[in-house]
Each structure stands twice: as C-alpha cells, then as structure tokens.
Structure 1
C-alpha cells in the first residue's frame, strides 16, 4: 500500500477532484430515496399533485447531476490510474537500466518482464477500484447506516446482525488468497521464462525435433498457473453468491417486519421504501468494499514485487567525485586481477591476471572454452566488479570513473551479435547518434558489410526483425562491428566477434581494422589462431590464469598449451 500511496500523492489535485465527485455522488444517490419517501408520504397519500411535481423535478435534477458526477468520477479515476502506472513502469525501467549483470541474474529477466507488465497491471486494476469504489463505498456505507438508524432503529438491527458475518467472510477469503496470489505470480514468471526460451531457441528446438518435449514443459508450468488461478478465482467467486444469499434473507426479514410496523401504524410506506434503499446501499457498499479488500492480497503481492525492483540497487556504484576526463587515451592495465561470479567465490573465474595494453597495440586472448576469456574483457566496461586487484583505463581505476565516461571510451562487440528491431541506420547510430551518411558508409566499408548492405533495395533503411533474425550470423556480426567502429573509441573489445566470418572476410576485416585502430587499443578474444597470430601480444588463458604471454612465434616456442591449440588449427608450414 505504501508504494501505491507514494505515487497517488503526486496527483493531489486530481485526487481532490475524485473525492469531490465521490462525496457529491453519495449525497445524490442517497438523496433520491429520501425524496421518493417524501413524495409517497406527503404527496401521493395526500393527493398533493403540486408537491409530487416539485419532488419529481428535484429528482430529475439530482439524477442529471449524479450522472455528471459519475462521469467525472470515472474520468478522474482513469486519469490518475494511467499516470500512476506510467510513472511506476518508467521508474522500474529506469532502475533496471542501472542493474549490473549480477542483479539481472538475481531476479531473472523473465521475472523482470512479468513485474513490469502483469504486476503493474494488477496494481493498476486495484488503484482503479480504490479510486472508484474504495473511497465511495466506506462513505456510502457510513451515511447509509446513519439514515438506516434515523429511519427505523428497530429494523436496523438486521443490518448490525449481518455485518459481523460479512466481515468474517472477507477476512477468511483474504487470508487464503494471499499465498495463492504469490504462487500465481511465481507460476506466471515460469510461463514467461519458458516462452522466452522457446521463442529465442526455436531453431535449436526444431533442429533436435524437441517440439513435443517443449510442449510438455510449457504444459506443466501452464497447468501450475491454471491450478493456482482456479483456486484463487473459486475463492473469490464464493463472495458474491454468499453476499446475495445473506442480502436476500435480510431483505425478506425487513419487508416482513416492515409490513407488520406499517400495519401497526408505526412506520409509513415511503419510509419503508427509503429504508430498503438505504439498506441496499449500505450492504452493497460493504460488498463492493469487501471485493476491494479481497483484491488487496493479490495487488499487495504485485506491489511488493515491484517495490523489490525499485529498491534493488546495483552493485556497480559510482563515486560522488567520479572521473569524467583523462589526459591519457587508450591505455588498459590489469594489476593482479581476480574475479568470481556471485555465489562462486571459492572457484574464481579469473585469478591473479596482470598485463598492459597501449594505444596502437593489439592484444589477443586465447584459451580453451570456459577458461574466463569473456569474463576478463567484460570486467573492463564494469559489467561486473573485480574481487581483488584493479583495472586501470588511462591510468585511472575503472571504479573511480563515471560509468558513462568509462563506457564511452570503449567500442564493445559481444560474442552474440545483438541487433535491435529497426533499420540498419538506426542500429549503426546506436554507436553514434549524430553519425552522418558518410560515417555510416565508412563504418560498413571497414566492417566488410558494404557488399550485402548495397544488395538491399533500401540499403541503410532496410529493416531488421527482432534480434536481426532476417540477417545471417556473419552479416549480424559485421553490423555489430560497424556499430562499434562508428563511434571511433579509444579501446576496442572484440569478444570472439569474427567467429561467424569466413577466412577471407576475416582476413580483409582485420587488415582494414588495423588501419582504423592504429591509434586505439584493440583487445581480441578468439578461438581461431589464424585471427590473432599477427597480434602484438597474445595472452594464453587456462583455468582463469595467464600461462603464456608473447607473440605468436614466441608462444609456439615456450607455451605448450598455445602450441597444441595452434597445431590443431594450422598447417605444418604455418607452425614453422
């Protein structure tokens, strides 16, 4: 509730308008039966047509005002709800953008999607009900109860008999719905996770003919969600019939005893009709408020999940006096760096790594799969923080930089060439917003992407589907390289970024990059020796440790691990 109140209080003027409409609507709703009672008892029974006409006109006027206020009530409620949910989602998205990989792993991407969409929707529905009925029903109930007591204290005993029973039912339903709501949202996370994996891995699933397996996997989590939802909805469904059953019993008793009082002359017909209206408003208001109260556990679960995202702070923090500019450009140094992923501190991925890279120098990193090559280069833009030692960029510890300033120095091309839905130009300008047409031309020429871009009828305006799935792996890799090249960074990081290229394209691309990056530092993670054999310095990584450092020829002579890798890939002439 604290989360919802925090955002609601940002719109005090709209809330005031909502409250005025609620208050006015109550007065009008309860004013109609009062006027009706007066019309019956003083007009119809006394054959006073003038009084009947007068009351009738008042009732028409009140009805028109009541409809107008109800329209305004819906307008204010919807406007507040829309604004609040927009702000919640904006704040969630803004905070998610600050997360390091550690926070993404902690909550899970599928859960973050559920919290931003479905959980926010549940909160929106609840706030909408609060603004329309949550404020209206308590006031309606209190005023109706007052009029019930005023009209017939004797008959009002039936209302006070029903309230404790209704209240007990509400409390019991709320108690049992809370764990069901938590289970339901957790199962929805599972559905999103499996659906996301299935859609992104569709080709692999089809290649291994595992559609049936995935169907059963999805069916299982979907059944769990359906089971928890059924239990929750059945519980909620009990409320309305139980209320109407009790309501009808009370109404029958009131009409029975009311008729007896009319017969005795202690109650007028108009007052009985008004009393029934007051009773209806009192009990119906209680039922509506009860439905809001019963929805609270579900909304509360969603609000807690949203609050968790909003309150979660990234482990990658900036210092108040963070560095934004340096005199040196392009220098990278690892000083006794060790790193382990959270929860795996006993088995470090990188251990006691030290090396230097200077502008104009190409440093390559090679080693067996899982030896920590990618983890090592991901430490430079601070996707994770080191556990021991430090990394210097241009002579400054990367933890002392403003993150934006540090990452602007780097052109990063990840293992998986991730492209975004949009045009080729939009994807390239992701590296440099103000890039001109000539900048785009130069970038695709360097990245050896010009040939296939020119083959497209719309060239730079050719659209990429989600993830660039309408382009081949090699084309996506070259566009990702062009995106990094276009910003002309001080430091290039190519994380196995040439793996999808044929040897000829790979060679041409490296030759062209060498000219482009002669004043920058280039770090290359590779599996192919042919890609890195001409590097100025090659680091051989094994189980997170550097076991060899030098040129290609030096390592062939003094590093057995490198020699074995090279032997498996190169001819005897190339090894000589």
Structure 2
C-alpha cells in the first residue's frame, strides 16, 4: 500500500497538514472551555465569556475547514491509489498465460480486482482520515491530561492496556475470518459466473432449482463467515464503550473529591474530561483501524500474489521482429503436456512443415490434440520438448507481440466483444476503412446479413455477441481475422457452425487472399479440408499420417474410416 501511497507526495503532505491543524484545534477547545468556566463563568465576567466564546466559534469554523480538507485529501488519495492498483492488476493479468489463469481462476481474479481492492481502499480511507491523527492526538491529549490534573491521570493510563489487549485479541481472531470470507466470496462469484454462462443449458435440462440450491449454499457460506467477522467487530464497540463509561465515572467521582478538597477547579475538571474523551476516542479510532487491518491485509496479500505472479510465457521484448521469409512453419519433434500433467502429454513427437501459400489441415478424433497443436504457434503455451519455428526462427525467440501480429487466429468458439460490428472487425487493424470492412465481410459470407441490420456496421453487439446466431458470430470472427491481413491464418474448427453451402462458398472466397499466406485449418468435417495441400491425421497426440486427401484415402485406414463416415461413395470416388 505504501508503494502506491508515496506516488502522491503532495496530497500526502496536505493530508498531514490538515491532520496537525485538526489536532491543534481539537486540543485548543477544551483549554478554552476550561478558561471560560474558571475566568468567565465562575467570576461572572461577561466580557471574558464573550471573548472565549467567540474564540471557540472561530476555532470550530477552522476545525470544520480542517475536517473537510482531511476528508477530501483522504478520499482523493485512497481512490487514486486503488485506481492505480486496479490498473496495474489488469495490465499484469492480461499478460498472464493460460496457466496463470488456471491457477488463480477467472472468478478469483475478478474478486481480487474489485472486492479486494475495495477493502484496501476502505482501510486506506480510514488510515488517511484517522490513522495518522489518532496516535498524535493520543500523545498530545496524554500530555495535556498530565499537565491539567496529574493526580487523576493514572485512571486513564490504567485503562489503556486493557483496551489494547482487547484490540490485539480481536485483530488476531479477525484475520482468519477475513481470509475465509474472501475465499467464500470467490466461491460465490465462481458459482454465479458458471450459472449465468450456462443459463441456456440449465433451462434446457430444467435444473434451475438444483443450481439455485448450489448458489444458496455458496451464498450461505459467505454469509456465515461474514456474520462471524461482523459479530466479532460488533462486540468491540459496546465493550470499549463500557470501559469508557467506567473511566468517566471514576474520573467524575475522584474529580468531585478533588474539587471539594479545593485541589482542583471546575473548569480544569471539565477540560480534563474533554482531554480524556479525546484520548479514549482516539484510541477507539485507532482500534477501528487496527481491527480493519487484518481484513485489508488479507485483501492486500491476495492482490500482491497476483502482482507477484510471473507469466510462464516470456514476452521477450527484445526478440526478433523482422524475418527474411514469410509464413514458413516447422514443428520439429514437438511434445507438449498441460501444466501439472507432464506424465500424460497431449502431443507426442509431432513433426510437420507448412510453407508460404500452402494450406495444411488437421483432423482426428476428439481429444487427439488438434486444437492444442495450433495454440502452440501463437505461444498460448510453450512446448516441453522439440521446437516450433516460423521463418526459421524459434517461436520463443520472437518478440511476443510481433509473433502474434503475424497470425490471424479464429478460435473454436467465436468470441465477439461489446460494441459495434465495426469495432469488432477493427480489433486486428484499428485503421481499417469501411471499404476494407465490407470486403472482409463479403469474403466471410457475412455481408448479406450485416447489410440487413438496421444500423449495419454500427449495429451494437451485446456481451459475447449474444444477439447474433452461432453462424453469424463465426463469420464475423473470420472477417475480423481477414481485416488484420496476417501472414498466417489459423482456423480452429472455425467452420463448424456453417452449413455445407456457406462453408464451400466461404472457402472459395478465401482462396485468393490466402494464396500467398500460410493457412492452418483444424476441422471435424472432411469436406472442409479435402482440398488442402497437406492433411495431418492425429491420433492420441501422435501424427498417424500426412498427405493429400487422395494419398490418405489410399494409405491411412484411420483417415479412410473418418472419410467414409462423412462422405458418400460418389464423393469418395471423385
């Protein structure tokens, strides 16, 4: 927290200025009140009463300005700090590899960016408004107590250790409860995200009640941990008030005895009580900060874990950005296993090459490693063994940003973002003109349905493009990659939502623009890839065969079985 706070030295200095001003004013009021009673009220000196009265009014007005200034600087500082913190979390998280996303979980990352940051902000606001003020107020009030009535001060200083012990005990118990509360909040967000993402499936299987119970269970766990934490905090307030009342009662009784014996003036006793109030109130504020600390510390630790996590994928900022060739791809004895599953590699000893202007397709049974293979090219993961090269350069040796700019990646699940169709198409090329957008839409067989929309390119898409059909989203995703004009196209089963006629037209449209590009296609349908220059048949992570459609029909039993299950005898004979 201090690393962020020290970024704003001027605001911090201003905060200290208002703190010192407020303390001087708060301690000046009891002194003036005592003087007013002893030198104005008791001798019935009206001029003195007016004099001290107006001084107190003036000091109160100055104190009001100090309070406003303290509130302003505290709020501005804390909100600026949390803004910076959230920005840093986001900038750091977007550089994570798939491994780190899996380790933290998307729901937990959202909680850490929102709720945990909010807990830290609440604590910082308390510290900036009262945390700096309370120890100074406590010390200054303690000095004034000893100066005003040293014979009564022992009562106050006897109560302080008891209060301090209570604060330490509450802080000790609140930390594990805070940790549990935040973990349970992660669970609520995870359950809610899963339910909202899968609401159509839930409705289709009439499982609303089941998932309502699941959410209620997660919500109850969060509520129970919160109740325990808030109950602990709630006990502190009446406990401290009880001790305060005892101290005030003892002081009043002893003060009355001292006044009766002529050892203490009434005004001095009233001023003394005011100083006691400031001591005890300062302690209570300090206790509030101290009790909030474990909760903020848990949140800060969770944020720090995110900021300290390093991506497994090195961005290699000083890496290669220029190559002599364009689109030459080589997989050389590549073996890959997902993190934590090294004993069961998804891909084993995979080797093949793809040259500029060629289309290389991948086919195989579900789970054979097709999608995993093409995700290694843009370095969503790094290989365990072997090497992948583009234009003769090993993939890790490229500057990561430059590497991915060379690739037009169309994922298996077409994902569109909130905004207009034009905004989505320009993700890969912000400078693209409307003519370029329409050209890409024509190639992707999407121009007709976009032209029929009321606002055409300016049509607003809801989250995930949920106001479009699956086929429409897939075609827009393809158009988005075309607008980018990359060296390498990767289609990860990107034609699955299209009917055969649209699929055929789209592939025919792609032929001219991919003539000098390298194209990799993952597909389930033989009809989509039968005209590829080479087809790689994968089986349980191994390369079972490589060849053209005709060569594989003749030499690969696995490929022939797949083809016979999808194509008619006439199509097989062509």
Shift of 1:49: 2.0
- Aligned mates of 2:259, 2:367 — CA distance in 1: 90
Determine whether 1:314 maps to 2:322. no
Q: Which residue of 1 aligns with 2:493?
A: 496
Determine whether 1:407 maps to 2:386. no
2:453 to 447, 452, 456: 456
Q: Which residue of 1 aligns with 2:136?
A: 139
Q: Deviations over 1:282-317 (max 9, x none)?
A: 001101100110010000000001001111111111
- Aligned mates of 1:136, 1:344 — CA distance in 2: 54
Q: How does 1:231-270 map to 2 (within 5 A)?
A: 231-270=228-267
- Aligned mates of 1:220, 1:37 — CA distance in 2: 59
Determine whether 1:331 maps to 2:328. yes
Question: Is the 2:363–2:524 Cα contact (8 Å) retained in structure 1?
Answer: yes
Q: Which residue of 1 aligns with 2:437?
A: 440
- Aligned mates of 2:391, 2:329 — CA distance in 1: 6
Q: How does 1:76-475 map to 2 (within 5 A)?
A: 76-319=73-316, 321-475=318-472
Question: Is the 2:364–2:539 Cα contact (8 Å) retained in structure 1?
Answer: yes
Shift of 1:218: 0.7
Q: Which residue of 2 aligns with 1:46?
A: 43
1:74 to 71, 75, 80: 71
- Aligned mates of 1:166, 1:190 — CA distance in 2: 36
- Aligned mates of 1:348, 1:357 — CA distance in 2: 23
Shift of 1:97: 1.1
Q: Normalising by the residue count of structure 1, what TM-score does the alignment of the two structures yield?
A: 0.99
- Aligned mates of 1:239, 1:544 — CA distance in 2: 61
Q: Which residue of 1 aligns with 2:483?
A: 486
Shift of 1:423: 0.4
Shift of 1:155: 1.2
Shift of 1:320: 5.7
The residue matched to 1:392 in structure 2 has which SS? strand
- Tell me which stretches of 4 or more aligned residues in structure 1 moved more than 4 Å: none
Shift of 1:395: 1.1
Q: How many residues align?
A: 573
Q: Which residue of 2 aligns with 1:523?
A: 520
Shift of 1:72: 0.6
> Which sections of structure 2, spanning at least 5 residues, go unmatched?
none
Question: Is the 2:315–2:401 Cα contact (8 Å) retained in structure 1?
Answer: no
Q: Deviations over 1:215-239 (max 9, x none)?
A: 1111111111001000000000011
Q: Deviations over 1:544-570 (max 9, x none)?
A: 110010011111111111111111111
- Aligned mates of 2:279, 2:353 — CA distance in 1: 78
The residue matched to 2:428 in structure 1 has which SS? coil
Question: Is the 2:411–2:492 Cα contact (8 Å) retained in structure 1?
Answer: yes
Shift of 1:48: 2.1
The residue matched to 2:94 in structure 1 has which SS? helix
- Aligned mates of 1:273, 1:195 — CA distance in 2: 57
- Aligned mates of 2:449, 2:317 — CA distance in 1: 47
- Aligned mates of 1:321, 1:137 — CA distance in 2: 50
The residue matched to 1:546 in structure 2 has which SS? strand
The residue matched to 2:8 in structure 1 has which SS? helix
Question: Is the 1:318–1:400 Cα contact (8 Å) retained in structure 2?
Answer: no
Q: Normalising by the residue count of structure 2, what TM-score does the alignment of the two structures yield?
A: 0.99
The residue matched to 1:60 in structure 2 has which SS? helix
- Aligned mates of 1:284, 1:495 — CA distance in 2: 65
Shift of 1:50: 2.0
